[in-house]
């Protein structure tokens, strides 16, 4: 199964544009957006050009100036490039805010749409071009290739379907995340708790993770169009799986056009978990070797490897987020931050690699215990020869999540023939799991400590965002300025400004509905008055509080706030740009003296 790298790069570019370089409110124009949207066809056109270049070289026997493989690679790079162009030149981020229907799911769908629109049409053409490049002879004027000799769409349909499964798989967590946020937003109290407190964020992230891994096996079957195993091999493999405690009806074959030799256990949780074998694997292995593969994958399931990996690689870092804030890395020198991040990434990778190697050995041992070493060893031998074997150099060993084949064969042989080795191997497995449990307990304990240390400040922020302005003001009175720790000081200045506005416009609001009814009506006119009298930086907190409780702010309102925010940050260039936008959109009544001729 190939990762859709161009799509992932396009999604990363879209995320970076939205979060790191957001468009100015009201900046977007149809006159610039529509031409930018036409660029979405460029990746597909380049892939088509690569295919035609292959056919042309075969028909003429001569190489062209632009190699077709270079065009194919350029088509892949074009996806993230055109996504960036749409955000940069078309101010697409502004259109997302305008059209998202006050919905997180709407924002996500609109945000990722350019990458999907650019990549999905490209993938069939790039697949056909890629296969044509793989089967074509070297250009030779004496050996011309007839048009009817090239691969046709029917020949690559299964591979195209497999590659399209990657984007479908990527779409699932994005859509699920947006839908969960929209449902959570229906309960402002809970929504603000999740995004204002460390414990709320941990519970929310864990809940999303649990739901995503529960949905994953069912979505995977749809994304890759898996189907039941063919007979008679299906009956044999279902029998093997059932003897090992795995539901035989959850074994599937994944069509890849015979292009992949792989087996995968899909689903970290027992609920809905399935085991998929590719059609290429079914073609190349005999029944005994396939039984060894099934026993190996079931060994992963019975040993709890997916759940252990998620617990250690996902849950533990999330639990450590709160105590890490106490260290206040942001105040350290950039070089120190980079060094800490580098060391952290290296350690995380080495831990992941060590666990992955150990788990592969454990799955091999489970296969040997079930069927003996011969079936799994033969399957490993065939796959390593036909597919991509693990590199035996230091670079390959360092970055591979699979152990070297000789080590795996040696371990299987010793596990079968040496009782003492089996006992030692099992003892190491128990110690590993005890260590993982200890790490989990320590991480959760540190997370609880970090949350407790920050709770006074998080509690104020939670009540403020939930619309209980009365309680937020009461809680804030117990916090002295010199009590605020360094990692909270910048955020607390913003919270203090919001509390000042709350005290002035709606000090008695006790819930989100009351705040939504009272704050915008009072804060926005007050902000306009402060803007006229004391300038945009002083008016910023009033507009920020008004927009926080406005269901559907207008483009002009967002633009006025952006102008004041730029003033508070001392960004003269952004201020001038927002003045031009506001004049084009229409200056609000009463603010002519600020934006007309200013």
For 276-335, the pLDDT digits (tens) are 999 989 988 888 889 988 999 999 998 989 888 888 888 888 888 878 777 766 666 667
Would you say how long the chain is, in residues?
598
Q: Could you give the residue ranges of the DSSP H alpha helices within 120-197?
A: 122-135, 153-185, 188-196
Which of 230, 314, 215, 229 has the alpha carbon at shortest distance from 273?
Answer: 215
H-run or E-run covering 266: strand 263-266
pLDDT given at position 119 = 96
Residue 404's Cβ-count burial label (10 Å; 0-12, 13-18, 19+) is middle
CA distance 460 to 473: 8
CA distance 391 to 542: 61
522, 506 in Cβ contact below 8 A?
Answer: yes
pLDDT given at position 387 = 55
**Which residues have CB under 8 Å from 25's CB, separation 6+?**
94, 97, 555, 558, 559, 561, 562, 578, 581
Residue 550 three-state SS: coil
Q: Which of 355-359, 378-382, 566-570 has the lowest mean pLDDT?
A: 378-382
Residue 257 three-state SS: coil
The two tokens of residue 239 are 């029998």
CA distance 5 to 76: 8
CA distance 561 to 555: 10
pLDDT given at position 389 = 46
% of the chain with per-residue pLDDT over 70? 95
Domain ranges for the chain: 1-160, 305-447, 519-595
pTM, full prediction: 0.89
Backbone angles phi, psi at 265, to 5 degrees: -95, 120
The two tokens of residue 83 are 């996504």
How many Cβ atoms sit within 10 Å of the Cβ of residue 387? 13
**Pairing label, strands 274-278, 227-228:** unpaired
For 288-302, the pLDDT digits (tens) are 889 988 999 999 998
CA distance 128 to 75: 13
Which of 451, 379, 461, 448 has the alpha carbon at shortest distance from 412?
Answer: 379
CA dihedral for 106, 110, 111, 113, sign (positive or negative): positive
Backbone angles phi, psi at 416, to 5 degrees: -75, -35
What is the pLDDT confidence band of residue 146, given thresholds at 50, 70 and 90?
A: confident
Which of 505, 588, 501, 516 has the alpha carbon at shortest distance from 548?
Answer: 516
Compute the 3-state secondary structure of the chain and give helix, strand, coil in percent, each to the nearest 5. Answer: 75, 5, 20
Average pLDDT on 338-355 reads 83
Which of 553, 459, 467 has the alpha carbon at shortest distance from 518?
Answer: 467
Residue 22 three-state SS: coil
For 32-51, the pLDDT digits (tens) are 999 999 999 999 999 999 99
For 91-144, the pLDDT digits (tens) are 999 999 999 978 999 999 999 999 999 999 999 999 999 998 887 777 666 677
Which of 264, 257, 258 has the alpha carbon at shortest distance from 285?
Answer: 258
Cis before residue 533, ω within 30 degrees of 0?
Answer: no
The two tokens of residue 194 are 């999740």
Could you give the angle at which helices 572-585 and 555-569 cross, rounded to 10 degrees?
Answer: 160
pLDDT given at position 237 = 92
Residue 276 three-state SS: strand
Mean residue pLDDT across the chain: 89
Q: Would you list the DSSP string of 310-337?
A: HIIIIIHHHHHHHHHHHH-GGGS-HHHH
248, 239 in Cβ contact below 8 A?
Answer: yes
More confident residue, 137 or 430: 430
For 520-564, the pLDDT digits (tens) are 999 999 999 999 999 999 999 999 999 999 988 999 999 999 999
448, 400 in Cβ contact below 8 A?
Answer: no
246, 301 in Cβ contact below 8 A?
Answer: yes
């Amino acid at each position: 199964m190939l990762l859709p790298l161009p799509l992932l790069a396009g999604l990363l570019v879209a995320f970076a544009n939205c979060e790191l370089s957001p468009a100015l409110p009201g900046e977007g124009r149809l006159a610039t957006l529509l031409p930018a949207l036409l660029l979405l066809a460029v990746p597909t056109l380049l892939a088509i050009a690569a295919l035609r270049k292959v056919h042309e070289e075969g028909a003429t026997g001569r190489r062209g100036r632009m190699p077709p493989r270079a065009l194919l690679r350029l088509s892949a790079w074009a996806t993230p490039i055109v996504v960036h162009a749409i955000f940069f030149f078309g101010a697409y981020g502004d259109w997302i805010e305008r059209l998202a229907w006050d919905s997180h799911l709407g924002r996500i769908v609109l945000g990722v749409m350019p990458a999907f629109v650019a990549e999905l049409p490209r993938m069939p053409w790039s697949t056909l071009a890629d296969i044509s490049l793989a089967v074509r002879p070297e250009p030779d004027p004496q050996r011309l290739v007839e048009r009817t000799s090239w691969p046709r769409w029917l020949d690559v349909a299964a591979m195209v379907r497999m590659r399209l499964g990657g984007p479908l798989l990527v779409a699932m967590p994005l859509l699920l995340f947006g839908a969960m946020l929209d449902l959570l937003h229906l309960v402002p109290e809970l929504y603000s708790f999740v995004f204002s407190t460390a414990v709320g964020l941990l519970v929310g992230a864990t809940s999303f993770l649990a739901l995503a891994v529960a949905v994953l096996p069912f979505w995977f079957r749809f994304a890759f169009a898996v189907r039941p195993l063919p007979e008679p091999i299906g009956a044999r493999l279902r029998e093997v799986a059932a003897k090992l405690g795995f539901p035989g009806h959850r074994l599937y074959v994944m069509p890849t056009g015979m292009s992949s030799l792989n087996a995968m256990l899909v689903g970290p949780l027992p609920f809905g978990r399935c085991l998929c074998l590719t059609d290429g694997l079914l073609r190349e292995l005999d029944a005994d070797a396939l039984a060894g593969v099934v026993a190996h994958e079931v060994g992963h399931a019975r040993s709890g490897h997916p759940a252990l990996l998620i617990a250690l690689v996902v849950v533990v870092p999330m639990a450590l987020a709160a105590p890490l804030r106490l260290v206040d890395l942001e105040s350290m020198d950039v070089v120190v931050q980079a060094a800490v991040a580098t060391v952290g990434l290296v350690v995380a990778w080495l831990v992941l690699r060590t666990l992955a190697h150990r788990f592969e050995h454990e799955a091999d041992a489970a296969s040997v215990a079930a069927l003996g070493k011969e079936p799994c060893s033969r399957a490993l031998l065939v796959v390593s020869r036909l597919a991509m074997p693990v590199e035996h150099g230091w670079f390959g060993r360092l970055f591979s999540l699979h152990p070297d084949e000789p080590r795996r064969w040696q371990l299987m042989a010793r596990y079968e023939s040496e009782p003492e080795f089996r006992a030692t191997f099992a003892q190491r497995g128990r110690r590993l799991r005890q260590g993982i449990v200890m790490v989990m307990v320590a991480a959760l304990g540190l997370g609880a400590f970090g949350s407790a240390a920050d709770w006074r400040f998080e509690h104020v922020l939670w009540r403020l965002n939930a619309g209980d302005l009365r309680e937020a003001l009461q809680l804030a009175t117990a916090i002295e300025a010199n009590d605020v720790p360094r990692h909270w000081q910048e955020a607390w200045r913003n919270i203090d400004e919001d509390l000042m506005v709350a005290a002035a416009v709606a000090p008695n609001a006790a819930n989100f509905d009351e705040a939504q009814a009272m704050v915008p009506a009072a804060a926005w006119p007050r902000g306009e008055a402060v803007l006229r009298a004391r300038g945009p930086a002083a008016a910023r907190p009033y507009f920020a509080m008004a927009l926080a409780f406005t269901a559907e702010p207008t483009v002009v309102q967002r633009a006025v706030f952006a102008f004041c925010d730029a003033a508070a940050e001392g960004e003269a260039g952004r201020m001038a740009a927002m003045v031009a936008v506001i004049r084009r959109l229409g200056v609000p009544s009463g603010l002519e003296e600020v934006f007309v001729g200013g």
